[in-house]
Structure formats: structure tokens, C-alpha cells
A and B are shown apart, each in its own frame.
Chain A
Amino acid sequence: MTDLASELRDIERKLFEIPDEKVAQLTLLIERSRAVVLSAALADAALGTLRPRLAKTRPPRHLTLQRIFCHPFEDLLILPEDGDKQFGRISRASLAPCWDFILQSLDQSSVKELEASIRTSTAPAIGASADPRIPKLGATLWGIVARRLREEVSQADSDPAHRAALVARLGSETVYLDLVDMMCMLEIAGALETLRDELSPKPVGRLLEAQAEAIREDYTALCASGAGLPGYMIAFILSRMSDPFQALPIFDGLGDMPTGIAGLKPGQYARRMIAGDSKRFFKSIGRADAGKMEAGNIAGMVDDFVVMIGRLKADGMADGPQPEMEAAGGKLRDMVKSGVLAGADVKLLDALATPAAIEPGQEAAVKEAIFNAKVQAEDRVYAIQKVARVAGGIGAEKDVGDTLKQLGGQIEQGGSTLVADIRAGKLNGIGKDAAKQQLYGAVRMLELVSGAAAAGKLMKDGLAAIEKMPG
């Protein structure tokens, strides 16, 4: 275990030096060993280590029946914040009970036949953007599973006792509702596959006009075909996008087209899903621990939050009381105070401190410590500046403004002392180059905190003083 852990750390370090072929071999080995040699958790940890590289190398993945089954709705999968059902999303926790149920419900000879087909199919080459075996084998599996589930769900709809038994078998109401969502996605899987190619690679950023047109056409065609519930295509589209708000005009433009849910238009469907995602994001903020987060990550979270509430408000989706949003805003304000602003002055002082006397043999260690202190101080200042841009969104503008002012004053004071010391000849012993290094350190920090004008003055005064130093 320890050996494997240290090997994983080693892999993490050298991740981008490993040849593509080796990455492909490792991936297949880990996936095949899952639940056989390695525990699922260990296999997931190992894959997690490789993940940054997987995105780049795209090795062929170990194909299983479950992977094919999940393919139509994999974009909808989330790690839930609580046990509640989220509109338009499927909890990862529901996968195992649903798949077990489906496997037991299917005709076993068909399952064996499909598994045999997987074993004999050829994996795609390294770097292939998709595995062509999935839609090919999926066309059969998705149809079979969807029909079987539809029988169960129809019976559950008409027979409360059957429904209760099904919920009990699956483990909870949320899992049952997730199973229904899976079924609905499988029912329109064919239509999704056409659109998937258009909306690739994931996440889709700024939507191109051709993509917007494809969404309109495919949605209209799905509605006209009468197959499945078209709203699930909206869920699929939104979950592939990094900024789902940009799709709202498209769905609004689809007017009164059906979604499969009575009274819910495509635009409303999309808003409901976005609202669910926002709520989950707000809940995740509530769970965040500032003590365990880098200041930069907190700043990123604040930025994401402010952007999101701005979009929600602009679209009228934040009208009325928003307890989750307000709680998240308050939490972020506290996180900024404790994780970004607090201790920033100490970080800055550490970065600007000059080691008194370096013990022989300690030069490299001292240099490394100075470097780390500077990197940490800069990261902290960047985090503060990032928050400063959007601090109004969480009501922290005064705290952030005061901190910046205080830090700027602190560096300016230190800079003035440095210049005075240079003028007084106190730095003559270390020489011009070393004096310049100290000056540059203060100038750089002042520039990051207070801007180029203040830093420019310090630089000018400092260099003029250094020029007059002897030697």
C-alpha cells in the first residue's frame, strides 16, 4: 500500500514524462484490476492521479457493459451535496444500485452475448476522441434497458405498492427518481449521439453559431419524432457547457415546444436545471473549509460565485428570498477574511525580510526559503487583488480595500526605510547588487499591491540612492 502510494506520487511528479503507450497500458491495467486485485477506492485514486494526463493522451478505456449503459447520461452525473433529488441531474451514488437492479432485470443470455461482443471488439487507437464501440454496442443495450425500465416505471406509476417496493429495493426515493432519469436519457440516446459530436469536446465554451443551430434543429426533430421526453435533451446540452446561461436564448426561442413535463417550456426547463446547479454550488460553498484551501482557490470561488449570482439576477432567476445564495455569500465573506486577508501582512514581511547571516553550507536552503516566501506572498496578493475586483458581490469591499491600503502602506514604509538606509550608507557593506535585489523585491511587491505609479517612485528613489553608493 505504502509502495503503491509512493509510486503514485512518483507518477504524479513525472506524469507528463510518461510515454502515451505507457499511460494507455497503466489505465487499462488499473481499470481491469478494479474490484479484482485493487479495491475500487484504490483504483479510483490511481486513475485520479493519472487524470490530468488522460485528458491529454486519451488512451482507450477498459470497456464494460456498465460504461456503455452510462454513456448517454454520463454528462448528467454529479457528486450530490445531500440526498435530495436534483432536477436534470443524476447522482453518482445512484449508479451502483440502479445498475445492479438493471442487471438482474435483464435477460441473462442477452447480457452474456453483449459482454462477448465487448471482448471481441477492437479498442480505438490512443488519442481517439471517442470510442466507436460505445454507440455501436449501445444501440442494442440502451434499447433493451430502456424498454425493460419503462415496463417497471409504468407499473410503478399505476401501482403504489409496486412503486414502494421498487424504491425499497433501490434504497431511496432519490435513487428511484434517478433511475427514471436514466431511462428517459436511454430512450433518446440515439438523438443525443448525433448532438454529442456537435457539442464536443466537452466542456463546450463559447457556443458557436453552427452549434446553436444544431441544438435548435435536433431539438425540433426530437419533438417531431415523438420519441421520449425532449426536455432531457436540454439537460444533456446544458451539462456539456461551461456557461449554460448562454443557451437560454436558444431555449427561449423554442417557444412552446414540448419538454415532456406538462406546463414546462424549454426555456423554463433550462432555468430550472441551472437553478438546481446553482443551488448545489451554493451548498458546496457551505461545505468548504477555508483552513484547508489555498487563498487563490478561495478567490476563484468568490469570482465564480459573483459571476453566477450576476447571471442569475440578470435573468430574473434570483428574485425573492434566496437563503442558499445568501448563506453562501456570508460564508465566502468569512472565508475571504480568514483565508485570504488574515495573515497577508505576515506573508509580505516574510517575503521582504533579509536573512541576517547565512551559515556556511546553508546557502541553498536559505535561497529556497526566500524563493518560497516570495511565491507565497505573491500568490496571496494575487488572491486579494482577484477578490478586490468582485468584493462588492459578497459585501467584502471595505475589508479588502482596507487590507490593500494597509499592505501598501506597510511596503511603502519599508521601501522608504530601505532608501533611507541606502542613503545613510547602511547597505554599503553588502554592495550595490545586493542593495538592488532588496529594492527590486520591495518594488515588485508594491507594484502588485498598490500599482505601478507607487512602485515607480520607489524604484526611482532607490536606484538614485544606489547610484551614489560607493564601489
Chain B
Amino acid sequence: MNFPRGSASQFQPAKFEERGTAVAFTTPALSQARVRVDSRDNLELTVSAFSGVKGNYVIRWKDVPEIFQLTMHDRALQEEIFKKNSCLPPDVRMATLETARTGLAGPEAQKSAEEAITEEENEVLLTRYFLFKTALDRLSGGQMSLQVSDFTSPAGRDRIRSGLGEIAKKLGTNANELYDRLERWGQFISPLGMPGMPKESRLRRLISGIASLGQSLNHWSDSDKSEAAELARGIARVAYFTDDFARDLAAASLRPVEYAERVLSNWEKATETLQRDIGRLWWTVDGWEFILLLWKDAEDRDRDAQRAAVTEIYRVLPIIPDKEAANRPNLAAMQENTRMQVRALEGWNSGSLDIEMVRRVENVKRKRI
């Protein structure tokens, strides 16, 4: 497994923050371009070179609407991210959903965003319930009984709080504070969910999807005779690596539940670790949702469309940066520069938006994992 390293490899991002977060723009030229923070804490956009050569353009975020002819959705999205001034994946995702909810990317994307927001609220609720239950089972010896509905009403929450007094004392805090800590903890890990939940949370679904994508592309490459077959195998290798890396991070993110007592009694310090672990998981799977949906869409289409999808996926493939996984074997093999593919059928010289191409990108935006 030896990928040739390009001459520009020294310019590869070394950390997630340098790589930035993929933005679900619908303007074809900017689809999956990345937002990151520069040395002066200003946002900037990195976008692959349009001519297909290696390397990226780096553009000040606030200048993006001046340089590119954006769709109305993308103008709103650019503004929303600019207002939040954050390039953290959860913040960019929320900005993306809020923007899609305006309907500027079409009614289907709007509906999908509304459903995703509701789904995430349910995930938070369920994760909290399972976290409280697991943690309190340990701390109270199974004395406290909980219902999901307790978390949806002030009376239910009060009932839980009132039962936390004794445990809180043991942990050197009070019932309200203990409740808040558990609630925040549940919020942190809700994108990952807790074991035993009836439905997997989003990040867990993404991780499973990445592994399945690897299998699917490997299988596809066996029957393909074009150059795309090699790209597909390369994507599959990156998918397996990412899946493996993400599973370890997911396990690390949930491990503190096993020693909840220590976490809740050393909350300030523990919070940093909790946030860091789940944050790294967000970065790891960032950009994969678009890829999974793109491939899912292409699977039912003809071979030419599938080859085009493979090329597009290869172009936007999120490689885990050097320093994030320095101790893992095979990391170097994943560091190939992927920015060397020219997108097919792009009206790059017309300067105007191709409505059909915008629609193709919007089609992906309508769907969810």
C-alpha cells in the first residue's frame, strides 16, 4: 500500500483545523470546499484548483461572494457561517441545516433539513436518557427509575433532580449542578449516542456508512475496467482507515461513561477531554456524508455516472491529517494529494451557473444518512 507522495506533500494539512470543514455549497465549483480559520482568527475558504492541477486556492471568507457567482442558497450559507465565525464541524453543520431550512436550496432540501433538526433533537433526548440511566444505575445502585418522558417536561426534570441529592453529595456537588453536568455530557455525546439506543445517532450511522462505502467501492472496482477502478480502490482504502480511526475515537468518547463517578466529580477537567474526543470524531467523519450520498445516488445510475461519481469523491476525499493519527500504521499511505482530478462536464469557462449542475448538487442535499 504505497501511494506516491506528491511534491507538494509538505503543504498537506497537518491537523484537522488546517484541513478545515467541508461546506455543503450548491454552487458546483465550490461543492465541498473547506472553511478554516487563518492565523488572525478570520475564516478563509480553501478550494481545489479549477484547472485540475495539484494545490488549493485560499480565499478570505468574506470575499467569497465577490469572487464566485454563488447560488442564493450559498450566499445565505456564506453569511450564516460568517456570522457564527466558527469552522467547527458541528457549527458548520448547524449553519448548513439552518440555511437549507430557508428553502433556498429547494423544498426537498428544506424538508430534509427540518427532519434532520428534529431527528437530532430526538437524539439528544434519547442520549440523555440512556446516559442518565447508565450513570445513575452505577451511582445509585439501580435505585432510581427513569422514563424518557421525564426529560420532556419541567415536572419530570424536577423529579429527576430531586432524586439526585444523595448522589450529588457523594460527588461533592448539589443536585442541580449534577443534573446540569449530566445534561451537558449527554449533549456532547448525542451525535454519537449511547449503546442500547433503539436507533443509531448520526455519527454512528456515518461511521457504518463509511465502512459500507469501502466495501461497495471495492466490489465495484472489481468489475470496472477504467482508470476509475484504481481511484475507487484508493477511496476504499481511505474509507477503511477512516472507519477504523473513527471507531477508536467513538469508543474513547464513550469510555468515560464506565467511570462516570470520576468524570462527574472532576467535571471541569473531564469536560475538556470529553469535548476534545467527540470533537476529533466530528472532524474525522466531516465531509463523508456528501460522499456517501453521492455514491448512493450513483449506484443506481449507469457506469459513466458511477465513474464520474468516483472521480468526484476522490477529489473531495477527506484524508486524515498527519499529526492527528501520527502513531497509526499506514497513515502515510493515506496522504496522497487528491486534488488532481478535473471534474467532468463542468462549464468552468462560462462564468455562469449551470442550473442542471446545481440541481445535481442539490439532489444530494435532499438526502440524509
Chain A residues in the interface with B (C-beta under 8 A): 52, 55-56, 127, 129, 198, 200-201, 203-206, 208, 210-211, 242, 371, 374-375, 378, 382, 385-386, 436-437, 440-441, 443-444, 447-448, 451-452, 455-456, 459
Contacts and interface: CB of A to CB of B under 8 A. Distances in A.
Contacts of B359: 382
B70 A452 contact: yes
Interface in B284-314: 299-300, 302-305, 307
A448 B103 CA distance: 13
B302 A203 contact: yes
Interface stretch (B50-58, B104-112, B180-188, B318-326): B104-112
Of the listed residues A371, A386, A437, A452, the one surrounded by the most CB atoms of chain B closer than 10 A to its CB is A452
A201 B225 contact: no
B103 A385 contact: no
Contacts of A129: 223
A307 B129 CA distance: 59
Interface of B: 69-72, 75, 102-104, 106-108, 111, 219, 223, 225-226, 299-300, 302-305, 307, 352-353, 355-356, 359
A437 B304 contact: no
Contacts of B226: 208
B72 A205 contact: no
Contacts of B356: 382, 385-386
21 contacts: A52-B300, A56-B299, A127-B219, A198-B225, A200-B223, A201-B303, A206-B307, A374-B103, A375-B107, A378-B107, A382-B355, A382-B359, A385-B356, A436-B102, A437-B103, A440-B103, A451-B353, A452-B69, A452-B70, A452-B353, A459-B75
A371 B107 contact: yes
B304 A206 contact: yes
Given A56-B300, A205-B302, A452-B70, A444 B106 contact: yes
Contacts of A448: 355
Nearest to A378: B106
B72 A444 contact: yes
Contact of A456 (B72, B102, B219, B225): B72
Contacts of A378: 106-107
Given A371-B107, A436-B102, A440-B102, A447 B303 contact: no
Contact of B72 (A127, A208, A371, A443): A443
B111 A447 contact: no
Contacts of A437: 102-103
Main secondary structure of the interface of A (DSSP, over half): helix
Given A375-B108, A447-B71, A456-B75, A205 B303 contact: yes
Of the listed residues B106, B223, B352, the one surrounded by the most CB atoms of chain A closer than 10 A to its CB is B106
A124 to B, nearest CB: 14
B109 to A, nearest CB: 10
A5 B108 CA distance: 29
A381 to B, nearest CB: 9
A275 B222 CA distance: 35
A452 B26 CA distance: 13
Given A205-B302, A382-B356, 11 more contacts: A203-B303, A205-B307, A206-B307, A210-B225, A242-B304, A440-B103, A440-B104, A443-B72, A444-B106, A452-B72, A456-B72
B103 A205 contact: no
A201 B302 CA distance: 9
A382 B307 CA distance: 25
Nearest to A443: B72
Contacts of A385: 355-356
Contacts of A436: 102
Contacts of B219: 127
A200 B104 CA distance: 41
Contacts of B307: 205-206
A459 to B, nearest CB: 6
A123 B156 CA distance: 59
A455 B353 CA distance: 13
A9 B121 CA distance: 33
A98 B71 CA distance: 58
Given A375-B108, A378-B107, A451-B353, A201 B300 contact: no
A436 B80 CA distance: 15
Of the listed residues A129, A210, A371, the one surrounded by the most CB atoms of chain B closer than 10 A to its CB is A371
B176 to A, nearest CB: 33
Contacts of A211: 225
B111 A444 contact: no
A56 B72 CA distance: 36
A201 B355 CA distance: 30
Contacts of B107: 371, 374-375, 378
A6 to B, nearest CB: 25
Contacts of A208: 225-226
Given A201-B223, A208-B226, A242-B302, A444 B355 contact: no
Contact of A371 (B111, B225, B303): B111
A129 B220 CA distance: 11
B233 to A, nearest CB: 17
Nearest to B344: A206
A451 B302 CA distance: 30
Nearest to A386: B356
A159 B80 CA distance: 83
Nearest to A351: B107
B112 to A, nearest CB: 11
Contacts of B302: 203, 205, 242
Contacts of A459: 72, 75
A205 B106 contact: no
B26 to A, nearest CB: 11
